[in-house]
Chain A
């Protein structure tokens, strides 16, 4: 009887400490921007990216296509209606893992190089991606950054007249 109880107690203590050990860093106003690799004028920024990163390496982000702001309103209209069909596909989601999370020390300030692997859903298409980035630990917040190239046709986006590839910049300060 005592063994059972003490086992139960041990299990309880372990599960509580596990819950405490996992820490989430969240933002609702992270930033993702992109620029066409062939034309600097084709660029936009989204300041309403929701992202969650946990200290065991899970990373997710979601953004709304209509939240991308272009300098040129006409471009923004074409982007939404002709290329991304944002009424049909209003959101893009990413779910993945930091594959070398053990090299990030969340209790020591610094910039740690990481590799992120996961699935990106964009324009109704889901594809695995692997991108290099950094995690900066700065007191009680973390700043996640990554830059990578996306080939638009991989996601069935046909904007050949404007751009075939875009450079994506991910920059999220999570607390």
Chain B
């Protein structure tokens, strides 16, 4: 009887540890770190054309993927949460590539040619292709 109780207590402790571990894992799982991901390299123009020509196919290729974009900064802005956003122009004057930085980037200005590495979240027709979680790479 005492032995059964002992095993039961051990089982309770093990389950408690496992449950705690699971909760800790769920609440602490880190967000994606773009810096460590392997990226597809494209120009802003190529990314725009991929979505403009065939949105479905471009979604399959690029949605949720890390992409390193090369382009010239057409505009610098701040979003409503204070994050820095840069736009790359495309062949269509209505459509931009809208790129939000994860952290405030050092010294950038309109006209600079940069490599922006971020995650592509999709395309909004007649508006923009959206990238976020971005960093600058050399």
CA distance A63 to B124 in the complex (A): 7
Binary flags per residue of B119-138, CB closer than 8 Å to A gives 1, else 0: 10111110110101000000
**Are the C-beta atoms of B127 and A50 separated by less than 8 Å?**
yes
Does B27 count as interface, using CB distance less than 8 angstroms?
yes
Interface size on B, residues (CB 8 A): 30
CA distance A171 to B81 in the complex (A): 11
Most chain B CB atoms below 10 A, which of A30, A31, A67, A74: A67
Does B90 count as interface, using CB distance less than 8 angstroms?
no
Does B1 count as interface, using CB distance less than 8 angstroms?
no
Q: A28-B127, A171-B80 given as contacts; is B30 within 8 A of A73 (CB)?
A: yes
Closest-by-CB residue of B relative to A27 is B80
**Which of A67, A90, A91 contacts B132 (CB under 8 A)?**
A67
Chain A residues with CB below 8 A from B85, complex form: 29
CA distance A92 to B89 in the complex (A): 24
Q: A28-B128, A48-B98, A74-B26 given as contacts; is B64 within 8 A of A87 (CB)?
A: yes
**Which of B31, B63, B96 contacts A66 (CB under 8 A)?**
B63
Q: A74-B26, A87-B64 given as contacts; is B77 within 8 A of A62 (CB)?
A: no
Our count of residue pairs bridging A and B at CB distance below 8 angstroms stands at 77
**Are the C-beta atoms of A48 and B100 separated by less than 8 Å?**
yes
Chain A residues with CB below 8 A from B6, complex form: none
**Which of B31, B64, B125, B132 contacts A48 (CB under 8 A)?**
B132
Q: How large is the interface on A (under 10, 10 to 19, 20 to 34, 35 or more residues)?
A: 20 to 34
**Are the C-beta atoms of A29 and B132 separated by less than 8 Å?**
no
Within 8 A of B (CB), among A97-139: none
Does A43 count as interface, using CB distance less than 8 angstroms?
no
CA distance A69 to B119 in the complex (A): 12
CA distance A48 to B128 in the complex (A): 10
Chain B residues with CB below 8 A from A48, complex form: 79, 98, 100, 121, 130, 132
Kindly list the 4 A-B residue pairs having the minimum CB-CB distance in the complex, ordered from nearest. Answer: A66-B121, A64-B122, A29-B79, A50-B127
Instruction: Pull 30 A–B residue pairs with CB atoms less than 8 Å apart, ordered by A.
Output: A28-B87, A28-B128, A29-B80, A29-B98, A29-B100, A31-B79, A45-B81, A47-B81, A47-B132, A48-B121, A48-B132, A62-B124, A62-B125, A64-B123, A64-B124, A64-B130, A65-B121, A66-B64, A66-B119, A66-B121, A66-B122, A67-B130, A67-B132, A72-B27, A73-B31, A74-B27, A87-B63, A90-B123, A91-B124, A173-B80
**B-to-A contact residues, CB < 8 Å:** 25-27, 29-32, 59, 63-64, 77, 79-81, 83, 85, 87, 96, 98, 100, 119, 121-125, 127-128, 130, 132
